[in-house]
């Protein structure tokens, strides 16, 4: 029987082939990845500009430690043509400061001054138009905080104890209506008396007399074309006198009819007047 052949044991180069194949595959992989990669130049520029703005200018060199030479970390002045241009620096927008209490107060004062000027101008126009009636002592014109008042005195407008307007005074009321017809003011007509009790079978009290006189003036204004929606009338009797009822002259001052011109802004600020209107 032939003896079995002894296998020769020795080094083999098979592993080298496997290693070479692996390296070749890795190289091929990286070459493939590099070939399909895309560099976004604009994004790179934006990132570079952002880093530069965030950290400021980069140091150009580091201080050398003892025993070593200085190492340049960044090049010197770059060529302007080759400098990477990033997006323009962000523009800061200045925002107005929120309004303060002082700002609101200043605005309120400015608005109050403007309204006062408007009232004064309105009163001046009426005084110019009604100058003869003012000179005769038949009417007065004044202003309050939010109202222009045309005050009609009794001596020229109504006989004592009566609510029938004197014919001689009707043209004065007509001229007042002409000045008011084109305005947008709300018009409140208020009648007043003195404190002497009325002795008349037609009117039960000074309240009735003052209200009837106010309505008489209101009807004259309406007949001249003023919109009825703008008109209201009320009687106050002997209340709210403008002079003490201690003499005939003062009582004559208290017997009056007032036409109040109330602008629209006053109705917003002060929607209700004292007393109840009588329609």
Q: What is the DSSP string of 184-218?
A: --EEEEEEE--SSPP--SS-SSHHHHHHHHHHHHH
Helix (H, G, I), strand (E, B) or coil at 69: coil
Query: 113 to each of 32, 101, 144, how far by Cα in Å?
Result: 81, 18, 13
Confidence of residue 80 (pLDDT cuts 50, 70, 90): very low
Choose between 170 and 96: higher pLDDT. Answer: 170
Report d(CA 269, CA 279) in Å as an integer: 23
Q: In whole numbers, what is the pLDDT of the chain averaged over residues?
A: 79
- What one-character DSSP code corresponds to residue 129? H
pLDDT top residue among 99 and 185? 185
In this predicted structure, the answer to whether residue 265 has a pLDDT above a threshold of 90 is no
Residue 205: inside a domain, yes or no?
Answer: yes
| Predicted local distance difference test score (pLDDT) of residue 7 | 52
Residue 105 has a pLDDT of: 84
Token pair of 136, please? 């005769």
Q: CB of 249 within 8 A of CB of 194?
A: no
Residue 228 reports pLDDT greater than 80: yes
Mean pLDDT across 6-20: 64
pLDDT band at 275 (very low <50, low <70, confident <90, very high): very low
CATH number for 151: 3.30.1330.60
How far apart, in whole angstroms, are the C-alpha atoms of residue 216 and residue 29?
108
**Does 218 reside within a domain?**
yes
* pLDDT score at 63: 47
pLDDT digits (tens, 9 = 90+) for 171-220: 999 999 999 999 999 999 999 999 999 887 889 999 999 999 999 999 99
Residue scoring higher pLDDT (237 or 201): 237
| Residue 41 within a domain | no
194 contacts 242 by C-beta, under 8 angstroms: no
pTM, rounded to two decimals: 0.60
Of 87, 92, 81, nearest to 48 by C-alpha is: 87
Q: What is the pLDDT of residue 36?
A: 65
Residue 231, helix vs strand vs coil: strand
- Residue 133 covered by a domain: yes
Q: Does the pLDDT of residue 23 top 60, yes or no?
A: yes
State the total domains in the chain.
1
Strand pairing partners for 151? Answer: 140, 258
Residue 123 lies in a domain: yes
Query: Would 74 be classed as within a structural domain?
Result: no
In a domain, 247, yes or no: yes
Alpha-carbon distance of 22 to 153, in angstroms, equals: 119
Residues 221 and 183: beta-carbon distance below 8 Å: no
Domain of residue 224 covers 101-269
Q: How far apart are CA 38 and CA 29, in angstroms?
A: 16
Q: Give the pLDDT band (50/70/90) at residue 1.
A: very low
Q: Which residue has the tokens 């009819």?
A: 257
Distance CA 149, CA 18 (A): 113
The C-alpha atoms of residue 148 and residue 261 are separated, in whole angstroms, by 5
- Give the pLDDT score at 201: 80
CA distance 246 to 275: 25
| pLDDT for residue 147 is more than 70 | yes
In a domain, 152, yes or no: yes
Give residue-wise pLDDT tens across range 39-72: 566 766 776 776 676 555 544 444 444 454 444 4
Q: Between residues 71 and 108, which one has the greater pLDDT? A: 108
Two structure tokens written together for 203: 């009117």
């Amino acid at each position: 029987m032939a003896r079995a052949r002894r296998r020769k044991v020795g080094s083999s180069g098979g592993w080298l082939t496997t290693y070479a194949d692996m390296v070749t595959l890795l190289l091929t992989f990286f070459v493939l990845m590099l070939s399909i990669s895309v560099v976004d130049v604009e994004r790179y520029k934006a990132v570079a500009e952002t880093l530069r703005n965030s950290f400021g200018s980069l140091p150009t060199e580091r201080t050398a430690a003892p025993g070593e030479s200085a190492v340049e970390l960044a090049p010197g002045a770059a060529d302007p043509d080759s400098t990477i241009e990033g997006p323009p620096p962000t523009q800061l927008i200045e925002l107005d400061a929120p309004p303060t209490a002082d700002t609101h107060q200043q605005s309120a004062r400015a608005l109050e001054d403007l309204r006062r000027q408007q009232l004064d101008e309105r009163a001046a126009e009426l005084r110019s138009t009604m100058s003869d009636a003012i000179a005769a002592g038949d009417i007065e014109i004044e202003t309050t905080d939010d109202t222009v008042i045309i005050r009609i005195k009794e001596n020229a407008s109504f006989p004592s104890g009566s609510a029938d307007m004197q014919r001689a005074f009707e043209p004065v009321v007509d001229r007042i209506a002409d000045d008011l017809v084109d305005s947008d003011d709300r018009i409140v007509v208020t009648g007043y008396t003195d404190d002497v009790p009325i002795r008349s079978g037609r009117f039960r009290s000074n309240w009735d007399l003052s209200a009837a006189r106010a309505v008489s003036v209101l009807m004259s204004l309406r007949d001249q074309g003023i919109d009825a929606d703008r008109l209201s009338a009320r009687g106050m009797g002997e209340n709210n006198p403008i002079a003490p009822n201690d003499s005939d002259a003062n009582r004559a001052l208290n017997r009056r009819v007032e036409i109040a011109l109330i602008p629209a802004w006053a109705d917003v600020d002060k929607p209700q007047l004292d007393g109840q209107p009588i329609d």
